[in-house]
Structure 1
Amino acid sequence: MSLPSQQIIDAMRDMVFVMRVEQNPYRFYYELFNQVAKDVLGFTTATLNQEIEDVNPVTKATVLKNQYMEVVRKQQASAYQDDYFVSSGQKVSESVLTPIITDGIVTHIVAVVRDITAVKYAHEQTLISKKRLELSRQRYKSLFDNNTAPIGYLNLSGELVKMNQALTTLAETIEGEDFSRNLFELLDGDSLAEVRESFYQTSQGKHCSVETDVHTKADHPMHLEIRFIPMRLDYHVHGIYVIIRDLTTEYFAKSALLESEKRFRLIAEHSSDLIQVLDQKQHFSYLSPSHTQRLHYHLDELYQKTFCDITSAAFKAAVQEVLTAISDTPSAVKKEIQLVDALGEARWFECQFESVFDVGVYVHTIVVARDIEERKAYEAELTQLAYQDPLTGLANRRLFNNRLEQIVTQFRREQTSFAVMMLDIDNFKTINDQYGHEVGDAVIVEIARRLQHVLRDVDTVARLGGDEFIILLPALATEAGVYRVIERLEQALQATYRMDDHDLSVGVSIGVVMPTAETCNVKRILNQADRALYEAKRTGKNKTIFHAYDD
């Protein structure tokens, strides 16, 4: 087997070394290396014919010599991965060592060293993204399945597609084990028309809630609050979450108090909700036993306090305003606030404040406080899911539009220039078809990483779905500044993508618009950015079109 020529190895894009092997004892000398090795490691002609130990640090030389010795002993090719350092930082390489054998003796070893840093990083990022997505799914499933509140997911016909155990138990209480999976049949009562109207409004994108009365299979009355939350995807409602709260205790507790003190205490003392009666000075004149479990206070301690004493500082002023207002006029007010327990921990409660008057004279206030800590955590999780792309961790379309609306408002007020870029991967379907969706997802994750690396902290980059991205660049004074950003983006995106032993050249088309008219609006900006992107793809792809804003 003849040695490769200098011209051949210089044409290779990986680092190539031809090492001469001296016998007894074994020594390894640099006989040839290519231009890439010179560029990356700083080798010169002075390096030729030097031993490994003379060129490399001790630790590195030991590793290399051991690998070469293994090839000499086995007289067969070998591959291994290793780290090395250059001026730009740590790199990861994959080396393939091939022996050249003459008359049964290894005389030379050809080493081809490939930089796989980007591949390793992309693989790690893909694993991180998958782990994030799986963790998000697990959190959502846990919040859904284990929530004590009855929760279900409805299609747009009102059919219960999924329901947690709490909702299953409630449905069985109302209709028995063979309950209907149609929400309107399950909640068939006097307020069904209002339930249907709230459901319809939610299907149009609004959050709605309604209260209704139903009777159980044992003919016991129940008073329920039905809360509908739209599940949006790309501006369209695809389904509806329903959260049901049993307000029977709260509903009947108020009337029971007016009808009979004895009946009121019977309900209050067996309720998990906090039931309180405040006198005219806002001190507690009655506290249900549930305060001990929920707030960890001895009741004797609480009787020495006012309601505002156990209210979190952030809500004291609002609560005081409510208590003052309802003591002047008979009324009921519902507020979500935080109460502080005996351990100093703040917990979320939904409080119903209702004043009681006797012949026009204020007597006291009834407060029913329901622990909503779990619901608040669930709503926070839903909010995160609603604003983040699960694959890349970028903002999604909804969050991007919110931020664009803010920047447009600021532009109208202060004339602070900004730009919007819309990006689309060229021929992305070909990547999926040829290499599989896992590689396609890895390309999307890598593009997201490169975009975030290039852009400023104040910029917003979002994934619109599929292979389409959009960028908001606030506070850019001139078009020249925009072009500088474009140049950095193109340099970052045009670098080779190393995915699963494949070197991919990924083209990206970009459409840019920089609004100049004070009458600009979000819809028109997005339309013009989309037109610029379309023009970039129509006229050859893998290019940027800067569209003059047309009002």
Structure 2
Amino acid sequence: MCEKELLKSVFMHGIEDMVFVMRVEGSDTFVYDFLNNSAKEKTHFTDDVIGKDMRDVIQGSSLPFLLEKYAFVVANKHTVTFEDSFHSPKSKDYVNETRLNPLFNENGECTHVVAVTRDITELKEAEKARNESKRILEHSKQRYKSLFENNTDSIFSVDKQGILQEVNLAFEKLSGYTKEELIGRSTFDILHESLQRKSLRNFLRTLKGEPQSFEASISNKKGARFDLMVITTPIIIKGEIVGIYVVVKNISEQRHAQRILKESEERFRLIAESSHDLITLLDHDGNIIYASPSYRQVVGFSPEQYIGHSLLYNVHSEDHKNIMDGFITSINESSLISLEYRAKHSSKGWNWFEMNGRPIFDEEGGFLHMVVVSRDVTHRKQYEDKLKLFAYHDPLTDLPNRRLFQTHLTDAMNDYHQNGHKFAILMLDLDNFKAINDHKGHDFGDDVIREFSHRIKKCLRGNDTVARLGGDEFIAIVHHIESKQDVIEIVERMREQLNHTWEVRGEEVELTTSVGITMPNTEDITPEALMKQVDDALYRAKGAGKNTYQVSK
């Protein structure tokens, strides 16, 4: 084998890189003259490409790029190295590094370009993986730096001897020492003697691979005192514990709040246990979660009997809606609730209570519970009822007075306008009553008035109203009257009842009465007009000789 053939055999079979020899024909035409076995295997080209222009063999976007590189080598007469990608029709994508070497004839003309292409796909993938690992590592470092240095909790690390290795800014602020003062110093040197034994015990357990968590109170370099939660975690590298990470949480505010809450709860307990009012705590559903001991004294039931029941437990059914509406409104609007209700007593029936409730919320606005204080106001309600009776009733006869009569008249007028129910007004006056008062005295006269009111009431129906206007003057509302004749029949019965002999204080008394009568006869009639009409009718009855009645015109 001659040297030329030997060289060709080496290029063909002995080189793993792809080798292409391109013949130069003009400035931008390159013809395949040779390609080795490696080039054939990876490109799946055959000897058929020999003698063909590159434009007839290579398709796609890579052709202009290659033509540009080959033309540059020919024009500048020096080697060029570049990277490109190559898609094999029957295999995967490759990343190649190609070196173009110009060959010259004796006249210095570039006649051929030898392309040696090396597959650097694995190298690029390895480089890509290396860069990705580097990026992940850098990202992890940044995360660690952020987690460690910028953490609001105090963090530091120590070696197996307890010597400080790293500290973050939060720990510097908490301890009162600078980083330079801390690094290289024993952790136990900055702890009070009272804490050293406890800390050492947890330190040794952590070195055995057992994370620890404990609370401690310390004073820092400046004398400030803190309540702390300390968490220790072993640092494990290649299966060996080399130190400890320590996270210190400042829980001073939480412990202070807990102490205040405990003191507040103790005060609440003392108040609740000594109070004569009912003190109740309700949850969000209105169920009782606490009932004060005073329940036993005030309502006669044990407080335990109320726990878990609704706030409506032992409350009068007529008051249920009012209480529930108030409870819901109070929570939704963060407002106080104040109302009166009736609650059952074990032996006294229904007692009246005045309730004042306040919803309690946490710092985020979440409902915690409602505090309700209820006071027995039964005696006050009874007194108010008496006052109401005095305000709206005549003390001599217990009949409604002028003020209450006006209310009944307004109701009758409304019923007349809205439903068409007719009614009549009777105004009555005892004849010659002044003479009785003058001769027999006011006490005797008062008894006459009482008897007069009693006889009038006997003549009226249960839904009718009779009132005393003052002196010997009375007035009545007779409901559901269809005609004047109906009213006259009632008045006749009344006169008959009044004409019977009276016996007052053992003496027989004969009395008569004059009556004025009126009925609303137009839609626009007013209470004032009706009163004027009945007063005029009474005046005419007395003027007609008394012991008679007159109907308004």
Q: TM-score normalized by structure 1?
A: 0.48
Question: If you compute each CA radius of gyration, which structure gives the higher value, 1 or 2?
Answer: 2
Larger relative contact order (CA 8 Å, sep ≥ 6): 1
TM-score scaled to structure 2, two decimals?
A: 0.48
